Amino acid sequence: MNDPAIRLAGLRKAFGRNQVLRGIDLTIPAGRVTVLMGANGAGKSTLVKILCGVHGADAGTVTLDGRPFAPASPSAALRAGVVTVHQNINDGVVPDLDVASNLLLDTLADGSGTFLNRRRMRERAREIAAAVGLEIDVTRQVADLSLADRQLVAIARAMAHDPRLMILDEPTSSLSAVEAERLFDLIESLRDRGVAILYISHRMSDIRRLADRIVSMRDGQIAGVFEEAPLDYSGSVRAMLGHEMTEADITIPAPGRTVLEVSDLVLRPGAAPFSLVARENEVIAITGLVGSGKSDLAGALFGLAPPLSGQMVLDGRPHRPTDARAAIAAGVYMCPKDRLITAVVADFDITRNITIPFLPRHSRASFLSRGSERRTAERMIGEMGVICQTPMDGILTLSGGNQQKVMVARWMAEASRLLILDEPFQGVDIQARRDIGHKIRATAGTRATIVFVAELDEALEIADRILVMSEHSIVGEHRNENIDVSAIMAEVVEAAPARAAGLQHG
């Protein structure tokens, strides 16, 4: 039963200048659960998209059961026996249709004839559902089902194709523990039937429960394959996060006045309350896996979603921003992650991208002063080292690193009390990363700074103090001096207690 179902050799893929996959060699054997781990941007999604026919590879080969496999489209991949259950559940189902139509969707999209025979559809749908042990009324609307049931419908639908390889992309991210358990049972029964499973997740509890082998990806390459029992979980996380111990020559300055005091903050039902203090002249890095609650903490500080309970105090006054405007007015700025979605104004040039939040500063009686804007933009371009021809260059003409510099410059153009940077090194080349890091540290004297990063390297490079988040709480705190990396790793990975049974979220 251990024939390799799928073999990848020398797989490469680039988007423009961005090398996403740099030569992947990997086998995914039948009848086993292969867990694929990797930080954001490691190339997992691209790899999955090549396997399920969304993208074509630039170089390298894939063989499926010994035959070359290069699907031209998702439906070609499906016919060849590769099915994918996506992270976003609603990608896998059509909420407005009933269960039967969903289960037969691929047949509908592929098949011939125009008119539907409802009765026959239902019979066939019941067979499909029964085959995976799904007990459900096939006439119900998918929109009325729980997330878990939708997930099972998506999987049942995939199973109708008698697949050779099933890819599950973070399938438990919206499920409660009980629901997840149902899913695991199903996955195990599929494995026992000889299906190769590629399971992508960051959740250590899931991984412990399911994994037969673990593959860690990092920077578009396979960073480690772990398949000898007992599995080396922390080794796999280390391989995924990596830390080359770059010349992180951090000299920790004496911190100044306390700016932010957070006490007994609860971000999610059931999460442990936590406290933290941020001071002037101090850069704090908060690290943790995807989904550990970093974004929720940033959002609470910046007024995007209030915490469930607990206090936030800024410069001695209660800090309860109702929206981004209120947070900015209080002197709390945030450079959000995923800049193309949340920060870059594509129609604007560099200057206008920089000045957006502080336009009153550049206007008199609402009329903008181009001169004032240009001076600020030129100053920030100089300080951040943005490589461009003029401040009037369109933002999208810049490389990712320079775009990010502009986004950071936007928030550094005015003095803040607390500067939050969420994943400031996302999609940024190494030089830009150094530049941004130096700039953050160099200007930290008059404010508190909190940087959220998933990659430990980045935290080590920039922070005076590193806090570790897990399960929506802070589980460790380390001064960035002679730091014990494996202790941080342990907190990132191990501190996760099993999720409370039956806990619903999402």
Partner 1 sequence: MDNRTSLVDLAIRYGFLVLMAALIVFFGIMAEGFLTPFSAVFILQSVAITGILALGVTATLVVGGFDLSIGAVATSALMLSSYVMVVWEMSALSAVLICLAMGAFVGLINGLLVVKMRVPDLLATLGMMFLLVGAQRIPTEGRSISTGMSLPDGSVANGKFSEAFLALGRHRIDFIAPNLVPLSVIFLIAIAIGVWVFLETTRHGRLMYAIGSNQQAASLAGANVNRYKIVAYMISGVLASVGGILLAARLGRGDVASGNNLLLDSVAAALIGFAVLGASKPNAFGTAIGALFVGILLQGLTMMNAPYYTQDFVKGAVLVIALVFTFALSGRGGRARG
User: Residues 454, 39: contact at Cβ < 8 Å?
Assistant: yes
User: For partner 1, which is the closer residue by CB, 211 or 395?
Assistant: 395
Task: Closer to partner 1 by CB, 184 or 348: give it.
Answer: 348
Task: Tally the C-alpha atoms within 13 A of residue 18's C-alpha that lie toward its C-beta.
Answer: 14
Alpha helices in 366-455 (DSSP H): 370-384, 400-412, 430-442
CB of 492 to partner 1, least distance (A): 27
Distance CA 335, CA 239 (A): 29
Closest separation in Å from C-beta 343 to partner 1: 5
| SS3 label, residue 176 | coil
Q: Compare residues 17 and 119 and give the one whose CB is closer to partner 1.
A: 17
User: Cα angle at 94 between 89 and 96, to 5 degrees?
Assistant: 125
Is residue 335 a contact partner of residue 344, using CB atoms and an 8 Å limit? no
Query: Would residue 487 be called left, alpha or beta, if left means φ above 0 and alpha means ψ between -120 and 50 degrees?
Result: alpha
Applying CB under 8 A, the residues found at the interface with partner 1 are 302, 323-325, 328-329, 334, 336, 340-348, 352, 356-357, 359-360, 362-363, 366-368, 396, 410
Nearer to partner 1, 94 or 340 (CB): 340
What single-letter amino acid sits at 344?
V
Looking at the Cβ atoms of 1 and 396, the one nearer to partner 1 is 396
CB of 395 to partner 1, least distance (A): 10
How many angstroms separate the CA atoms of 259 and 277, rounded?
Answer: 8
Angle between helices 370-384 and 400-412 (to 10 degrees): 120
The DSSP output letter for 259 is E
Report whether the peptide linkage leading into residue 230 is cis, meaning its omega lies within 30 degrees of zero: yes
Report the nearest approach of partner 1 to the CB of residue 15 (Å).
Answer: 11
Burial label for 482, CB within 10 Å (0-12, 13-18, 19+), is: exposed
Tokens 């000299």, located at residue: 251
CA distance 146 to 505: 12
CB 75 to partner 1: min, Å = 22
- Whichever of 341 and 442 has its CB closer to partner 1, that residue is 341
* Smallest separation, CB 326 to partner 1 (Å): 9
- Least Å from the CB of residue 418 to partner 1: 15
Q: Which is nearer to partner 1, 359 or 500 (CB)?
A: 359
Closest CA to 453 of 244, 203, 285: 285
Structure tokens at 384: 């951040």
Rounded to an integer, what distance in angstroms lies between the CA atom of residue 138 and that of residue 121? 10
Q: How far is the CB of 489 from partner 1 (least distance, A)?
A: 32
Using the minimum distance from each CB to partner 1, give the nearer residue, 396 or 498.
Answer: 396
Query: Residue 122 or residue 410: which is nearer to partner 1 going by CB?
Result: 410
As measured in angstroms, the least distance from the Cβ of 349 to partner 1 is: 12
